Structure 1
Amino acid sequence: MHLSLSQVSAAHPAARRGAAPALRGITLSLRPGEQAALIGPSGAGKTTLLQVAAAALRPASGRVDLDGIDPWTLPVRALQRLRGRLLLAPQVPPLPPRQRVITSVLAARLPAMGFWTSLRSLFYPVDIPGAHAALERFDLAEKLFERVDRLSGGERQRVGLARALLAPANLWLVDEPLSALDPRRAEQAIDALVDEARARGATLLASLHQVDVALARFTRVIGLRDGALFFDLPAAEVTAERLRQLYAQHEDELRAPAAQDTSAPGPKPVVMHCR
């Protein structure tokens, strides 16, 4: 799917009336099948940009185009069908706590299911092998029939990412997918996302707090600061000096150590939520 934003400004959904916009005049375009990382300090507007791109948040000004269509000109049903071609994966996946993992993962296929098939799948999952294979990519196959509320934070995050592998979407918008994962799990997760998106020809835009991962696994890196586009460059051209400028007064985030995997027992780390 082709994604285009033209002079887009938007307020964060939780912003108070009169607050400064979270996005200010953003213009960028992703070709079908292109993969890009979105980086920047906390409060830069990364989450808001993903929500606007997913037609989940209407911009205050500017235009969003998805395959040449402005989603906000569509009737409600047509907008819902268009959203069915998108995957917006939030940092904390909204998984019902009493639901089984297999049901949560297969929910990614709901946009392509009819009413009766989706209802039946709540009681008799329609594709157990598919769900198992998706979870296996994230080393969670043994949790297939576990209840969500019995998973750790890191495991829940990986379940949310496994849904991408089953979704009938050709635009993936993924927000901080590695925030609760240790380096080994993070490498496994980003490899699964990038490789599967490339194999399907899906467009992928992922916000990342881990700058080293963004530079290593993506050929294009987009830097946001204070709601504005700071740079949009091939990864090879993102120099240490550019990163210092992007994270000026936020140097601790640029040097932040890798997260501890919250799938492990014991005290849980603080997870940073970047907007």
Structure 2
Amino acid sequence: MELALDAVEARHPAARPGHAPALRGLTLRLGAGEAAAVIGPSGAGKTTLLHVAAAALPPSGGTLALGGQAPWALSPRALRALRGQLFLAPQVPPLPPRQRVVTAVLAARLPSLGLARSLRSLFYPDDIPGAWAALERFDLGDKLFERVDRLSGGERQRVGLARALLSPASLWLVDEPLSALDPTRAAQAVSALVDGARERGATLLATLHQVDVALAHFPRIIGLRDGALAFDLPAAQVTPERLRALYAQHEHELLGAPPVAEAPAATAAPAVMHCR
């Protein structure tokens, strides 16, 4: 699915009046089947971009087109049908805690099922081999029948990504999928995600804090800062100088380290009084 934003402005629903927009005049295009990573410091507008692209947040200015359609000009029924072609994976996957992993993964297919099959699938999973194959690509095949609330945070994140492989969507929008993963698992998960999108011919747009992972696995890198486009380049052209400019005053995020806390001011030793 093609994605096109033209001079888009967007505000967070909870933003106070007069607050700067989260996206400022953003123009961006992804062709069908492209894969791109969005990087930038905290507060750059990365998550807002995904919510706009998912037709979950209407732009306050500019235009959005998904597969050549303007979602906010569609009827409610047509908008629901369009959203069925989108897969939005938030940083914390919305997985019911008491549900089995197999059911949670197969739920990605619900937009393409009728009501009767959707209800039946909640109690009688109809493609256990397909669910296992999707999970196995994220090294989670042995968790097929575990309950979600017995998984670690990193395992839940990978279950959320495995859902994309079973989704009928042609546009995958993935928000910070690696926050709970160690470097080895992060590289494996991104590789499985990028490969899965390519095999399906799906368009993939992912936000990442891990700049090294983005550069290693995505052919196209989009840099956002203060809601505006800083650069849109092939990964090979994203130089250290560009990265330092993008993360100026946020160097700890570029280096993957927590911010250095300011040392507390020295205090005088308390006076000790001796009574005789």
TM-score for both structures, normalised by structure 1: 0.92
- Residue of structure 1 equivalent to 2:53: 53
- Residue of structure 1 equivalent to 2:31: 31
Do structure 1's residue 118 and structure 2's residue 124 form an aligned pair? Answer: no
- Residue of structure 2 equivalent to 1:167: 167
- Residue of structure 2 equivalent to 1:72: 72
- Residue of structure 1 equivalent to 2:263: none
- Residue of structure 2 equivalent to 1:266: none
Distance change (3 Å), C-alpha of 1:159 and 1:19: same
Q: Percent of counterpart pairs with the same letter?
A: 76
Deviation of residue 216 (structure 1)? Answer: 1.1
1:87-98 aligned at under 5 Å gives the runs 87-98=87-98
How many angstroms apart in 1 are the aligned matches of 2:39 and 2:253? Answer: 11
How many angstroms apart in 1 are the aligned matches of 2:242 and 2:203? Answer: 26
Unaligned runs of 5+ in 1: 259-275
- Residue of structure 2 equivalent to 1:130: 130
Deviation of residue 14 (structure 1)? Answer: 3.1
How many angstroms apart in 2 are the aligned matches of 1:238 and 1:125? Answer: 45
Corresponding pairs, count: 258
Deviation of residue 15 (structure 1)? Answer: 2.1
How many angstroms apart in 1 are the aligned matches of 2:116 and 2:231? Answer: 47
Deviation of residue 17 (structure 1)? Answer: 3.1
Give the secondary-structure state (helix, strand or coil) at the position aligned to 1:88: strand
- Residue of structure 2 equivalent to 1:263: none
How many angstroms apart in 2 are the aligned matches of 1:122 and 1:90? Answer: 22
TM-score for both structures, normalised by structure 2: 0.92
Do structure 1's residue 228 and structure 2's residue 237 form an aligned pair? Answer: no
How many angstroms apart in 2 are the aligned matches of 1:13 and 1:134? Answer: 35
Unaligned runs of 5+ in 2: 259-276
Do structure 1's residue 212 and structure 2's residue 207 form an aligned pair? Answer: no
- Residue of structure 2 equivalent to 1:261: none
Do structure 1's residue 21 and structure 2's residue 21 form an aligned pair? Answer: yes
How many angstroms apart in 1 are the aligned matches of 2:143 and 2:200? Answer: 26
Deviation of residue 257 (structure 1)? Answer: 4.9
- Residue of structure 2 equivalent to 1:178: 178
How many angstroms apart in 2 are the aligned matches of 1:217 and 1:143? Answer: 26
**Larger Rg belongs to:** 2
Letter of the aligned partner of 1:181 in structure 2? L
**Structure 1 residue ranges (4+ consecutive) displaced by more than 3 angstroms after TM superposition:** none
- Residue of structure 2 equivalent to 1:246: 246
Give the secondary-structure state (helix, strand or coil) at the position aligned to 2:222: strand
How many angstroms apart in 1 are the aligned matches of 2:80 and 2:162? Answer: 22
1:1-12 aligned at under 5 Å gives the runs 1-12=1-12
CA RMSD after TM alignment: 1.1
Letter of the aligned partner of 2:97 in structure 1? P
